Amino acid sequence: MSNTDARLHLHSEHDHAPGDEPATGHEIAEGLLVYIVGLFLAALITAVAFFLVGTSLVWRPSIPVALLVLAVAQMGVHLVFFLHITTGPDNSNNVLALAFGVLIVTLVVSGSLWIMANLDANMLPMDRLLEMQR
């Protein structure tokens, strides 16, 4: 074994990625509890969304707003309980990656809506289009 191989082998025994460390029974139970709470909250938010749409207890024009609020809450539950994205010091890269992803999605959606609005505003009315084809 060369000197470089020995150094690499020595580092691999002591270097651990986050989450690679051996877990105790207590840590496993805490982790499982986080997933169970997340599952319960996600199922509850889904049930509330179906309940809102299926009943007449809520003023009909407010249902899309309520569904949007529940969708944002659902995304928050998934980010925190299942993807473990928090604002802790060890998760700064995750938060930056999430922010970049949100920026890209926002740019794509807003750009698509802008293009569709411009196309709609600049199209000929249907009756003039039919006259031109005759």
Q: Indicate whether 16 pLDDT > 80.
A: no
How far is residue 24 from each of residues 20, 21, 29, 30, 64, measured CA to CA in Å?
Answer: 12, 10, 9, 10, 45
How far is residue 109 from each of residues 18, 114, 123, measured CA to CA in Å?
Answer: 34, 9, 21
Q: Give the C-alpha separation, 109 to 12, whole Å.
A: 44
44 neighbors 51 (Cβ within 8 angstroms)? no
What are the pLDDT digits (tens) for 94-112? 888 888 989 999 999 999 9
DSSP state of 56: S
> Looking at residues 81-101, what average pLDDT do you find?
83
Q: Per-domain residue ranges for the chain?
A: 20-84, 89-134
Q: Confidence class of residue 124 from pLDDT cuts 50, 70 and 90? A: confident
Q: What is the pTM of this model?
A: 0.62
Least confident of 26-30, 36-40, 55-59: 26-30
DSSP state of 62: G
Q: Confidence class of residue 51 from pLDDT cuts 50, 70 and 90? A: very high
